[in-house]
Chains A and B, each alone.
Chain A
Amino acid sequence: MINLAGRDVLHGWGKFLFTGIGLGLLIGATLTMAGVFRGMVDDGQVLIDNSGADLWVVQQGTLGPYAEPSSIRDDAWRGIAGIQGVAETGNAAYLTIQMAHAGKDTRVMIVGIEVDRPETGGRPGAPPYLTAGRPILQGHYEAIADERTGLALGERVKIRRHDYTVVGLTRRMVSSSGDPMIFVPLKDAQEIQFLKDNDALVNERARTAANPAFNRPGIPGLLEAAQASVSQARSVNTVLVRLAPGADAEAVAGEIQRWKRLTAYTKAQMEDILVAKLIATSAKQIGMFLVILAIVTAAIVAFIIYTMTLAKVREIAVLKLIGAKNRIIAGMILQQALALGVIGFLVGRIAAGLWGPAFPKYVLLLPQDALSGFAIVMTICALASSVAIRAALAIDPAEAIGG
């Protein structure tokens, strides 16, 4: 028996291929959507992994430092470092700013890290690997930038009040919302984050100076001390904790919470916050979109196959007249629907791979997603063809004869 589906497709292959490509672009959009979601999850994962921390200690009762604001004293680490099982601590400050660079406005996350121990690979929070350059050695105005910021080694970049020199580059260091990171010394980050701008500072100083309480006769230096204490930043967002080998994360976290009036999260809990809580709404958003795209794809495939079948009413009537079984006719339509699905999927996968890197945020195309995508596409095509098959089986062989 010859393959009727194949012969029909070959007879009008241009049209068939064109339709398949159109469908493919739609499938490509769907795969990309799934890739965007995977990218978001992966960004969160990478953020957690690359921080080099086993515990995140944050302001009591907050989901900090990524999902909620958290502020703790920058000497809180002293108490934490003394707890059994803690190997190393690192203060870290995070803030997202809009950075003007090379005529473009880029959203970046400034990460303040402790830079006192570059020789041991830095404290927790420092980038775990550099693609170029060196770690931050100076206490001020040096930066390590993620490659996606577009910054080059040795370049100088203005962040708020000061210019920073890019001494190192790193890769895949992004915030939970996908913004590339710039690492700077903690003191600089604190200044950027907690210091007020000049006007606010001048205003506040004037207010303090005008306060009679700070101007008591006979207490020289009181005003100056008060001024210094308000204008100095003493907060960080989190203390990152690296555990000693064999230490139980849950136990240490419990210890920190009990004694320090702070909240401590383990890696698993942080993952839950970042992946489950922080992007939960986006995930639903994308899930919704995927469902709609699947329905649209199904509708389009059904429509295409239905139209292709209706264009063959006469041929199908002749086939029935000369004795072709329903199985042969249904098989012809089903095979064409599946072939369309295969073309569409291949085109879609290639398209997604081509345009994925052009997306501003990370698009992660997982083979298992492609595989389930393929299965879904084939199922949709098979289901969609049933409409056309029903129509074909209802065709009257008498139509082949006419009057």
Chain B
Amino acid sequence: MDRLDNPPAICLTGLKKRYGTGDAAVDALKGVDMTIWPGEVVGLVGPSGSGKSTLLKCLGAVIEPTAGRMELAGEVIYDDAWKIPDLRALRRDRIGFVFQAPYLIPFLDVTDNVALLPMLAGQDNAAARKRALELLTALDVRHRAGAQVSQLSGGEQQRVAIARSLANHAPVILADEPTAPLDSERALTVVRILNDLARQYRTAIIVVTHDEKIIPTFKRIYHIRDGRTHEEAGEGRAI
């Protein structure tokens, strides 16, 4: 199984993040350890202001941590300083982002919103659109492929956003409250989709959530409080 022949998809050791300096400094992460394997969907829960979003942003190379170590699939990307030169290429090729509000590009149609990622990575338009349509089919929004973003429902937008996060075969997906704007049925659908994708593509997925309905679905949960994490077994309830 993966744990034997593959390195963890994500491995954090002693990750720290301090916002600001001096009196105004906030220690959002005070030493986070975390290991996530390919194909796993892990919950990240904690009270407001506990550092969940901060953790995802560090992991997604959107903000710079203050100290610690981050590894992606065995490669050290941060060790008290960035270890790779092109963070945008890292985000483009190896991280998928899904947010609470599914920020799609309003002036592109559904297909091109998804196809944009492979295009940015250098694929030609036809191949990128083919990939986009495959993903839209997998996420059951194929019928909306030509629509404008503004014409989609919240759940459809969220599924398009997930399709986009997968478009470059990213081994890691970071989802920050992806179900917040959805009703419980749709929320569970999104979680089921994420679980299916993790199994199918061996993607490691971290889902930040407050949502009581979906917390029982995780097999493993990281609790974060006051900038530190501790791991817990979840119920792993089937959906």
Chain A residues close to B by CB (< 8 Å): 1-2, 4, 7-8, 10-12, 314-315, 317-325, 328, 397-398, 400-403
Select which of B91, B105, B106, B112 is within 8 A of A323 by beta carbon: B91
On whether A323 and B57 interact (CB within 8 A), knowing A8-B107, A11-B107, A402-B100, the answer reads: no
Q: For residue B147, give the distance in angstroms from its CB to the closest CB of chain A.
A: 13
A-binding segment of B67-75, B113-121, B215-223: B113-121
- Whether A11 lies near B106 (C-beta < 8 A) is yes
Within B90-147, the residues touching A (CB, 8 Å) are 90-93, 97, 99-101, 103-108, 112, 115-117, 119-121, 125
Q: Mark B201-225, 1 if CB is under 8 A from A, else 0.
A: 0000000000000000000000000
- Whether B101 lies near A402 (C-beta < 8 A) is yes
Q: Which residue of A lies closest to B97 (CB)?
A: A321
- Whether B91 lies near A401 (C-beta < 8 A) is no
| CA gap between A217 and B106 in the complex, in Å | 109
- Whether A403 lies near B53 (C-beta < 8 A) is yes
User: B88 in the interface, Cβ–Cβ < 8 Å?
Assistant: yes
Chain B residues close to A by CB (< 8 Å): 53, 56-57, 60, 62-63, 88-93, 97, 99-101, 103-108, 112, 115-117, 119-121, 125, 164, 176
Name the B residues within 8 Å of A2 (CB-CB).
108, 112, 115-116, 119, 125
Name the B residues within 8 Å of A328 (CB-CB).
120
| CA gap between A28 and B195 in the complex, in Å | 61
- Whether A323 lies near B92 (C-beta < 8 A) is yes
- Whether A325 lies near B88 (C-beta < 8 A) is yes
| CA gap between A322 and B117 in the complex, in Å | 7
Name the B residues within 8 Å of A325 (CB-CB).
88, 120
Q: Which residue of A lies closest to B161 (CB)?
A: A318
Name the A residues within 8 Å of B116 (CB-CB).
2, 322
| CA gap between A324 and B88 in the complex, in Å | 7
- Whether A321 lies near B91 (C-beta < 8 A) is yes
- Whether B103 lies near A324 (C-beta < 8 A) is no
- Whether B57 lies near A398 (C-beta < 8 A) is yes
Select which of B89, B107, B117 is within 8 A of A10 by beta carbon: B107
Q: For residue A123, give the distance in angstroms from its CB to the closest CB of chain B.
A: 72
- Whether A323 lies near B108 (C-beta < 8 A) is no
| CA gap between A11 and B148 in the complex, in Å | 10
| CA gap between A400 and B100 in the complex, in Å | 10
- Whether A324 lies near B99 (C-beta < 8 A) is no
On whether A323 and B93 interact (CB within 8 A), knowing A2-B108, A11-B106, the answer reads: yes
Q: Which residue of B lies closest to A6 (CB)?
A: B107
